[in-house]
Amino acid sequence: MCPAFIQGDMESKLISGAAAGAAVAQKASVEQILAHCGDAHEFCAALAKLFGLRLTEVALLRVDKGLLKFLFPEELKTAGAIPVSSSSAIAAHTASTKKVELFNTFAKVKHARVFETVRLAGKEDSERSEQLQIQKLMSAPVLGPERKVAGVIQVCRKGFDLGTAGPDFTPRDLQQLEAASAVAAKMPFMKENG
């Protein structure tokens, strides 16, 4: 091996080590922010703040007898539930694959839109909220013991189009959402009778 290759390899190990250290610190700060939330509303409000989102851009669903039921936003609790086996709902796909997902061109993704038509009571943009569509979305499974799916967290950016929806979500954002889902898994409100 030539010395240049060794140096390059060492630099990449240092960089990946620094990235891993940053990821650990990031996870710890997400846990510190979210761990003291008492209910689903507080948790979602803290999550919205963490990502710089409107409260109407956060959703939390819990699995109950094969259905994903909304814990938040409040307006969607009575709007219906999503079968975990659904082939058209992104939340169901997240639950069935147990993988985080990121869509920065979500409006182009084929998906069930029924819950997007429900008017949410967000004071930030109440007069125009029904006109805003989900443009960008991240979805993460909430995994309980033995990697059993307890629910799904989704955060999005809404806008009239991609340009008005705000910045793209990044891989770092996805890591933060994954860390948030690990915190959610330990919360009483994610348990069936919690």
Residue with tokens 């409040």: 74
Instruction: State the Cα–Cα distance between residues 15 and 193, nearest whole angstrom.
Output: 45
Neighbour-count burial for 53-62, b at 16+ CB within 10 Å, e otherwise: bbbbbbbbbb
Residue 174: burial class (beta carbons within 10 Å; 0-12, 13-18, 19+): middle
What are the φ/ψ torsions at residue 18 (nearest 5 degrees)? -65, -40
- Whole-number pLDDT of residue 47: 95
- The token duo for 111 is 């998906």
pLDDT of residue 110: 66
pLDDT in tens, the chain (194 residues): 333 333 344 333 433 444 444 444 556 688 888 988 989 999 999 999 999 999 989 999 999 999 999 999 988 888 788 999 988 899 999 999 999 999 999 988 865 544 454 455 654 444 444 568 899 999 999 999 899 999 999 999 999 998 999 999 999 999 999 999 999 999 999 986 44
Query: Which is nearest to 11 in space by CA: 123, 127, 19, 139?
Result: 19
Domain range list for the chain: 3-190
Query: Reading across the β-sheet that carries 133-143, which strands appear in turn?
Result: 81-83, 67-72, 58-64, 149-159, 133-143, 101-103
pLDDT value of residue 116: 52
For residue 194 the two structure tokens come to 């919690």
User: Would you state the pLDDT for residue 194?
Assistant: 42
* pLDDT score at 186: 94
- Asked if 40 and 54 touch (Cβ cutoff 8 Å), the reply is no
Q: Confirm or reject CATH 3.30.450.40 for domain 3-190, answering yes or no.
A: yes
Residues forming beta bridges with residue 83, ordered by sequence position: 67
